[in-house]
Chain A
Amino acid sequence: MPAGSGATAAPGRGARELGAAAHHLIALRVENRSGVLVRVAGLFSRRGFNIVSLAVAPTDDERFSRISIVVDADSAPLQQVVDQLDKLINVVSIRELSPAEAEQAELLLATVAVAIGSRDAVHLETLAAAAAAEVVDSDGQATTVRLAGTPEALDAFEDALRPYGIVELQRTGRIALPKLGRRGLG
């Protein structure tokens, strides 16, 4: 799959633990070529490193894509993950971003079992407004809401939605850029 395809993966359980200390965020700048994502993902599987979430998309420079990976640091020493990734020819630069030095964001879409016009719909709209989420779709059976924000805000919102009955939920995985004043990634 081309790295620029925008593919994402965010397993629900792992995503719930994004704030945990054992998770590290690694930001890769890679050549925008076919097969790059396979090489990165293959390296993780080959070396027994666990991916919590993965987000890939082209950057402003069409020659490169950015891959943001949240790594389960208990599965391997972080330095070893970085050193092995560095050996991939298509990986141009690597930066480990700790939560303190990164501006992080993630997107969530959730469909909950709340019918349009129902009493729950009012509560849901109040909840969404308070979380700065948007109701983007609804019908006689369900409502879909969208929230962009920090992983922690998404965790909290997901918990708040649960009593309404989550029908489907998709998160994109974390993306991040270094906080200003701490830049260094090429």
Chain B
Amino acid sequence: MQLTGAQALIKSLEEQGVEVIFGLPGGAILPVYDPLIDSSIRHVLVRHEQGAGHAAEGYAHVTGRPGVAMVTSGPGATNIVTPIADAYMDSIPLVVVAGQVATASIGTDAFQEVDTTGITAGITKHNWLVTDAADIPDVVAEAFHVATTGRPGPVLVDFPKDVANATMSWRPAAPVSLPGYSPPAEPAPEAIRAAAALIAAAERPVLYVGGGVLKAEAWDGLARLVEVTGAPVVTTLMARGAFPDSDPHHLGMPGMHGSYTAVTAMQRADLLVALGARFDDRVTGKVSAFAPEAKIVHVDIDRAEIGKVRRPDVAVAADCRLAIEALVAALRPLLAERPGGGAAGRLAPWWAQLEEWRRRFPFTYDRDGRGDLGAGRRSGRLLKPQFVIEQLRAATDDETILVSGVGQHQMWAAQHWRFERPRSWVNSGGLGTMGFAVPAALGAKVGRPDATVWAVDGDGCFQMTAQELVTATAERIPVKVAICNNAYLGMVRQWQHMFYEERYSEVYLSPDLPDYVGWAEAMGCVAMRVSEPEEVLPAIEKANDVDDRPVVIDFRTDSMEQVYPMVPAGASNDDIVVHPSQAGSPR
């Protein structure tokens, strides 16, 4: 069968099971958009290539399958650089197909030419420049293999226009053979034995759960590990939902804005069992002061993460699910032999301490805050963003997917939402990409059309990518967006408040410019504005009843609200700053 390169590309994507592509056509990728008309693959036409990338990420987050985005050369490719970097930081399987100028024009500064493989080399697991149409089936198979195996991540296929127009004899992809690529899978038995021995002996263990547990679909094994050990669990920003928040073993999120109990438990632990976590600086604070008494068991599929920040006592380079299952199997006999009623008994003093911290230092905020003028305030009571998130959670079920942008609202969402299900939380963790929420929510809804998808966004974030709500309306993707509109770049404002003597430089945005309701309506959304606490729940319920178009609620929240607790950047986690109402309480 003779196919054009473009037809071969689409056919190869179909054979990989691709059901949707997020993209935007242009000159160099034009040939590929022609056979797309006849393909079973759905194409979602975004309004900006950054939206295509984040939508594909959102899709991948909630389905566990690779997200696919397609863009043209030059500015199309550079516009998707941010999502590629985002996916690289957060280990999201993403396959980007980028058009490229014809091979004969490469290097001549042709119209819409950039060195796409060069630009993306440092932010992809790998990329390919296709120079022969006969290579297409193999390159596509390799791209999906690399994106989805080992530590997942983004890949890019750079696709010159003449290769798309060339003719090739179709053949299915050969089995993938990459001599330089062999991610670990099974854990080494001796490493598991050593790790199990440390866990069995620990008196103050903490299971430090990272995004790798979600990537490896290891949540069932994690539940068994908790059951067997009775150990407390913390879930990082990337791991929210990997373990139910309602389980009493869960201490919450660690890190710069984590719960006091999660942060302090790690500081005082005698053993940290890191499961698919990478000792990120937002978790460790000052590394030299992090968890000073703890031995470390580090399970990660990426060998380069093990020992990168903190030297482990036991390294387990393996798939997280297989490693956790092996740990459970190794621990059962060990813990059964122990006298004194097993783990719960042995860990009783530790749990007594944890419960004490948990009782004294829960997440809190001033529910009846009056204070300074809040944006859009009509009465003396200020609308607190945490209250909005609590009400949103109260009005939605456990299957609801929560997506967030980056900043204060993201931290409040991570703190105050009750996550009960894996893959119910979608956010930009490592790169901290403002503008992530709207397009990622759209992609999440495409991946899980049965689930309600709410985005909690900031006003600053919303202004970066809101145009993808046009996409959502046009493509009938009914996402819901709650803007916590505090009229500021809130997290930057918080740092200026705390560390720059309240000298507020270039952070004021205005609550009314743009008119978010008018803007959302212009994009085909149902739109509401809420300023009073008692209006919050009715507005959310009204939004939940809309299922044929996107909804935007402009919540006018308190501008002065700060995220607590906070570990100042570069400080030791021991110097965690708690909410003012808890300060002075002896620890």
Residues in chain A within 8 A of chain B (CB atoms): 30-31, 34-35, 38-39, 42-43, 46, 77, 79-80, 83-84, 86-93
A90 with B121: CB separation less than 8 A:
no
Rounded to whole angstroms, the CA-CA distance of A46 and B168 in the bound complex is: 38
Distance between B259 CB and nearest chain A CB, rounded to angstroms: 31
Chain B hits for A80, CB < 8 A: 304, 307-308
Q: Is the CB of A42 within 8 A of B121?
A: yes
Contact B121 A91 (CB under 8 A): no
| CB–CB A79/B307 < 8 A | yes
User: Is B121 touching A38 in the complex (CB atoms < 8 A)?
Assistant: yes
List of 7 A-B pairs having minimum Cβ-Cβ separation, nearest first: A83-B304, A89-B126, A92-B180, A46-B122, A83-B303, A92-B179, A89-B181
- Chain B residues in 8 Å Cβ range of A35: 117-118, 121, 129
B472: Cβ under 8 A from any A Cβ: no
Q: Give the docked Cα–Cα distance between A80 and B129 (Å).
A: 28
Q: Give complex CA distance A113, B573 in Å.
A: 62
Partner of A38, one of B118, B180, B303: B118
Nearest CB in chain B: distance from A55 CB, A: 20
Roughly how many angstroms separate A80 CA and B307 CA in the complex, as a whole number? 8
Q: How far is the CB of B156 from chain A (nearest CB, A)?
A: 12
In the bound complex, CA of A83 to CA of B309 (Å): 13
Q: Which residue of A43, A79, A83, A93 is within 8 Å of B122 (Cβ)?
A: A43
In the complex formed, the residue of B with least CB distance to A87 is B304
Give the complex CA separation of A84 and B307 in angstroms: 12
* Most chain B beta-carbon contacts within 10 A, residue among A31, A43, A77, A86: A86
Pairwise interchain contact B122-A89, C-beta atoms closer than 8 A: no
Chain A residues near B304 (CB, 8 Å)? 80, 83-84, 86-87
A91 to B117, CA, bound (A): 17
Residue pair A86, B122 in contact (C-beta under 8 Å): no
Q: What residues of chain A lie closer than 8 Å to B445, measured between beta carbons?
A: none
* CA distance in complex: A79, B303 (Å): 10
Query: Is B302 interfacial (CB 8 A cutoff)?
Result: yes
The complex places the Cα of A178 from the Cα of B438 at a distance, in Å, of 55
Cβ-defined contact, B121 with A39, below 8 A? yes
Residue B104 CB within 8 A of the other chain: no
Minimal Cβ-Cβ distance residue in B for A91: B180
With most chain A CB atoms within 10 A of its CB, the pick from B125, B129, B308 is B308
How many residue pairs bridge A and B at CB < 8 Å? Answer: 45
Max chain A C-beta neighbours (<10 A), residue from B126, B178, B179, B303: B179
B178 / chain A contacts, CB cutoff of 8 Å:
89
* Minimal Cβ-Cβ distance residue in A for B123: A46
A-B contacts besides A83-B307, A84-B304, A88-B126, 14 pairs, CB < 8 Å: A35-B121, A39-B121, A42-B121, A43-B122, A46-B122, A80-B304, A83-B306, A86-B303, A87-B302, A89-B126, A89-B181, A90-B126, A90-B180, A91-B180
Chain A residue nearest to B151 (CB atoms) is A87
Chain A residues lying within 8 Å of B242, measured Cβ to Cβ, are none
| Binary CB contact string for chain B from 168 to 182 against chain A (1 if under 8 A, 0 otherwise) | 000000000011110
15 residue pairs of the A-B complex, CB under 8 angstroms, read A30-B180, A31-B180, A35-B121, A38-B118, A39-B121, A42-B122, A43-B122, A79-B307, A83-B307, A87-B125, A87-B302, A89-B126, A91-B180, A92-B179, A93-B180
Chain A residues positioned under 8 Å from B117 (CB to CB):
35
- Name B111-125 residues within 8 Å CB distance of A: 117-118, 121-122, 125
Task: State the Cβ distance, B480 to closest chain A Cβ, in Å.
Answer: 39
A90 to B125, CA, bound (A): 11
Q: Which residues of A contact B179 (CB under 8 A)?
A: 31, 92
Separation of A34 and B180 alpha carbons in the complex (Å): 15
* A43 CB, nearest partner CB in chain B, Å: 7
Do B307 and A89 touch across chains, with their CB atoms under 8 A apart?
A: no
Find chain A residues with CB under 8 A from B129 CB: 34-35
A86 surroundings in chain B (CB, below 8 A): 303-304
Chain B residue at minimum C-beta to C-beta distance from A84: B304
**Interchain CA distance A73-B181 in the complex, whole Å:** 25
Of the listed residues B118, B126, B180, B302, the one surrounded by the most CB atoms of chain A closer than 10 A to its CB is: B180
A89 to B178, CA, bound (A): 7
0/1 per residue, B288-330, Cβ < 8 Å to A?
Answer: 0000000000000011101110000000000000000000000
Determine the residue in chain A with the shortest Cβ distance to B118.
A38
Chain B nearest CB from A9 CB (Å) reads 18
B146 on the A face (CB < 8 A): yes
Nearest CB on A from B306, distance (A)? 8
Quick check: A88 and B122 within 8 Å, CB to CB? no
State the CA gap A79–B305 with chains docked (Å).
11
Which B100-154 residues sit within 8 Å CB-CB of chain A? 117-118, 121-122, 125-126, 129, 146
